[in-house]
Amino acid sequence: MIGVREREFMYIYDEYYFWSIAHQLLVKHEFNLLQVNEQNQEVWLEKSMQKKSVVIRLYLRSFDWANHVKQDLATVMQRVSNIQKALKHKDITVHNVYVAENGPVDDWESLKKPHKLKDKKNILVQSYYLEESVRNSELNRLFDTLNLTGPNMSVDEKDPEETANQVHRLKHQMMKYHHQKKKEIESLFTYGKPRFTYFLLAVNIIMFYLLSTTPGGSTDTKNLINWGAKFNPYILEGEWWRIFSSMFLHIGGLHIFMNMIALYYLGNTVERMYGSIKFVCIYILAGLFGGMASFALNDAVAAGASGAIFGLFGALLFFGLVNKKLFFQTMGSNLLFIIGLNIFLGISVPSIDNSAHVGGLIGGFLAAAMVQMPKRKKALIQLSSFVLYAVAMVGLMFYGIEQSDTSNSPQTAAVLAQEYLEEERYDEAIDLLSVAIQENENKNELLYFNRSVAYYYTNNMDNARSDLETVIEINPEFAEAHYNLALVYSNLDLYDQAYEHAEQAVKLKPDQKDWVDFKEQLTEIRNSLN
C-alpha cells in the first residue's frame, strides 16, 4: 500500500506537470490566460488559431469513476457556453486536460472522443487524461493536435522539496508574465489623455454654429465657399488655405453629428495611444492629405472633418501593422469592417466625398508612420513615410491642377456663373454655362436657370425663354423659374402665358409680395386688352 507521505509526494509531481504545461502554453506558445484558480488547481487559457478560438482547460483532479468525468464535462461545456461571447471566433475548440496520478477505474474511452454541444454545433470539446501511466502519450496527443512543440519536462523524484519549490516558481513566473503582459497592453491604450480631442470637438461645433447662424446657413454653397470650403477654382487662384479651413466646416446637422460622434470615439482611442502632440500631427496631416485628394479627384464644393477622421482609422491600421496580435485581439476585425463599410458607402452614395475619405485614411497611416508609436523610433520608416507623404501630396496637387483644365462640374460652373452674374459679366457667364451644359449629359436645372438670367440681362429673350422652359421641364416646382418666365413672356408681350406662369409662381411661394404684385399687374394688362 502507498503511504500518506508517498501519496503527498506523488501529488507534488502531478502538480509540477500541471503547472509546467500551463507555463509552457502561456509563455512559450503565447496563449492568453483567461482564469486561474490555485485553490482548485484549475487554469483556463485561450488563443486564436487558424480562424478558431482554441480554449485549453487544465484541471489537476482525480476521478474514480467515468460518470464523474462525464459530470465534469457537462460543467465544462456550460462554462464554455457562458464565455463564448468573450471569444473572438464563432468556432471554438476546447481541449479539456486532466492531470492526475490515476484514471477512473471503469472504462471512460468513449469520453475521449470529441463532443459537440447539442444546441451549439460550433463548440467542440476534446478530453485528455494525463494519468501517470500514459502521461507522455496523452501529452503528445494534446500538443500534436494543437500542432505545437511539446514541453520537455523532467522531475527529480528523489527531491520532492525541490519539486515543490519549482511549482512555486512556475506559478510566480506565470502570474508575473501575465501581469506584465496586461500592463503592457494597458500602457498602449493609456499613454496620453484626450485633451486635443475635446478641443477639436469644440472648434468644429463652434464653427458649425457660426456658419449656421449666417445668411444661407451651413447648406448654402455660396455661404460655405465664403467661410472657406474647398472650392477648386479659388484654390487654383492661390487660396490653398482652403485645404485646411474646409476641415472645420460641415454641411448640415447630420454631417457634423456623425463626424463628431466618430471624432469623439476615435479621437479618444488614438490620442490615448499616440499622445496628444502626435495625435494632432496625425489629425492635421491626414486632413490635409484628404483635402488634397479631394482637390485632385473631386471638383465639387466640399467641407468636413471626414478626411482627418479617416486618418485616425489609418493611425489604428498602422498600430495593427506594428502590433498584429494585439490589434486582432482588441479591434482588428471590427475596425476593418467599419473601414470597408465606409468606403463601400462612399462608392455607393454620390454625395459622399470618397476621395477625401480614402485620402485621409492613407494620409493618417503615413502620418502615424512618421510620428511612430510612443517609445518606438524607426528612423528609416519615419524618413521613407515622410518622403512618400510629400511626393504623394505634390503629385495630387499637380494632378488636380491638370484636371482643372478639363473639368466642367455642374456645381462649379453654377457657383462661378452666379459670381459672374453678380458682377454683371453676363457674356462670360453664358460662355461658361454653355460649355458646362454641353459637356454634362444629365440636364442640370441650375445651369439652364443661370444662363437664362444672363440671356435676360443681355436682352436675348428667346434664348432666356427656351432655357426657362427647359428648367420647368426638369423641375416643375421651381418657383423662381416660373416667375422669371413670366417676366420674359411679359417682355415678349405674351401676357396670357406670362400670367399663367406668374400664377404658378405665386401658388408655389404665396409669401412673395413682389410676385403677387406682378401677377396683379398682369391681370390689369390682360383686362385692358380684352
CA distance 138 to 411: 73
Number of folded domains that form the chain: 3
372 and 257 both lie in a single domain: yes
312 and 249 both lie in a single domain: yes
Long-range contacts of 401-410 (CB under 8 A, 24+ apart): 401/236, 403/296, 403/297, 403/299, 404/232, 404/233, 404/236, 404/299, 407/232, 407/299, 408/435, 408/436, 408/439, 408/440, 409/299, 409/300, 409/436, 410/436, 410/440, 410/444, 410/446, 410/447
pLDDT (tens digit, 9 = 90+) per residue, 338-353? Answer: 777 777 766 666 667 8
- The pLDDT, as a whole number, for residue 392 is 95
Residue count (the chain): 530
- What number is the average pLDDT over the span 290-294? 95
pLDDT (tens digit, 9 = 90+) per residue, 128-153? Answer: 888 888 888 888 888 988 888 877 77
- What 8-state DSSP symbol labels residue 31? P
Residue 89 CB neighbours (<10 A): 16
- What number is the average pLDDT over the span 51-68? 86
219 and 365 both lie in a single domain: yes
- The pLDDT, as a whole number, for residue 385 is 93
pLDDT: is 18 or 81 the higher one?
18
**Model confidence at 245: pLDDT above 70:** yes
- The pLDDT, as a whole number, for residue 157 is 60
8 Å CB contact between 455 and 467: yes
- Confidence class for position 171, pLDDT limits 50, 70, 90: confident
295 and 208 both lie in a single domain: yes
Catalytic residue among 115, 250, 255, 357: 357
- The pLDDT, as a whole number, for residue 394 is 95
**Model confidence at 203: pLDDT above 90:** yes
8 Å CB contact between 228 and 249: yes
357 is catalytic: yes
Burial (CB < 10 A; 0-12, 13-18, 19+), residue 115, is buried
Mean of per-residue pLDDT scores for the chain: 85
Question: Closest Cα to residue 482, out of 459, 515, 520?
Answer: 515
Cβ neighbours for 234, distance < 8 A, ≥ 6 positions apart: 225, 242
pLDDT (tens digit, 9 = 90+) per residue, 418-476? Answer: 888 888 889 988 888 888 888 877 788 888 999 999 999 999 999 999 999 999 999 99
**Model confidence at 6: pLDDT above 60:** no
- Among 345, 373, 404, the domain-final residue is 404
- What 8-state DSSP symbol labels residue 110? G
Q: Which domain holds residue 461?
A: 410-529
CATH number at 440 reads 1.25.40.10
- What 8-state DSSP symbol labels residue 106? S
- The pLDDT, as a whole number, for residue 9 is 56
- What number is the average pLDDT over the span 232-249? 93
- The pLDDT, as a whole number, for residue 327 is 67
**Model confidence at 5: pLDDT above 60:** no
- The pLDDT, as a whole number, for residue 333 is 65
- The pLDDT, as a whole number, for residue 330 is 66
- Among 385, 404, 423, the domain-final residue is 404
183 and 283 both lie in a single domain: no
Cβ neighbours for 26, distance < 8 A, ≥ 6 positions apart: 33, 45, 174, 177, 178
- Confidence class for position 2, pLDDT limits 50, 70, 90: very low
- The pLDDT, as a whole number, for residue 3 is 41
166 and 287 both lie in a single domain: no
CATH number at 239 reads 1.20.1540.10
8 Å CB contact between 271 and 195: yes
- Confidence class for position 332, pLDDT limits 50, 70, 90: low
- Among 188, 212, 246, the domain-final residue is 188
- What number is the average pLDDT over the span 362-390? 90
167 and 202 both lie in a single domain: no
482 is catalytic: no
32 and 124 both lie in a single domain: yes
Reported in sequence order, the residue ranges of 197-258 that DSSP labels E, i.e. its strands, are: none
235 and 157 both lie in a single domain: no
Helix-strand-coil split of the chain, %, nearest 5: 70, 10, 25
- The pLDDT, as a whole number, for residue 407 is 59
**Model confidence at 196: pLDDT above 90:** yes
- The pLDDT, as a whole number, for residue 7 is 46
**Model confidence at 285: pLDDT above 80:** yes
Catalytic residue among 53, 246, 306, 409: 306
CA distance 178 to 116: 31
> Residue 42: how many CA atoms within 13 Å on its side-chain side?
11
- What number is the average pLDDT over the span 387-392? 96
287 and 391 both lie in a single domain: yes
CA distance 342 to 347: 9
- The pLDDT, as a whole number, for residue 244 is 96
End-to-end CA distance of the chain: 132
**Model confidence at 158: pLDDT above 60:** no
- What number is the average pLDDT over the span 249-266? 90
For cell 499622445, name the residue: 275
pLDDT: is 196 or 354 the higher one?
196
Helix/strand/coil for 66: helix
**Model confidence at 27: pLDDT above 50:** yes
- What number is the average pLDDT over the span 231-244? 92
- What number is the average pLDDT over the span 243-262? 92
**Model confidence at 119: pLDDT above 50:** yes
163 and 235 both lie in a single domain: no
14 and 149 both lie in a single domain: yes
- pLDDT over 90, % of the chain: 29
Strand partners, 55: 46, 94
- The pLDDT, as a whole number, for residue 295 is 93
- What number is the average pLDDT over the span 334-340? 72
- The pLDDT, as a whole number, for residue 1 is 40
Distances (CA, A) of 305 to 178, 254, 277, 310: 40, 13, 18, 9
**410-422 and 426-439 are packed helices; what angle lies between their axes, rounded to 10 degrees?**
170
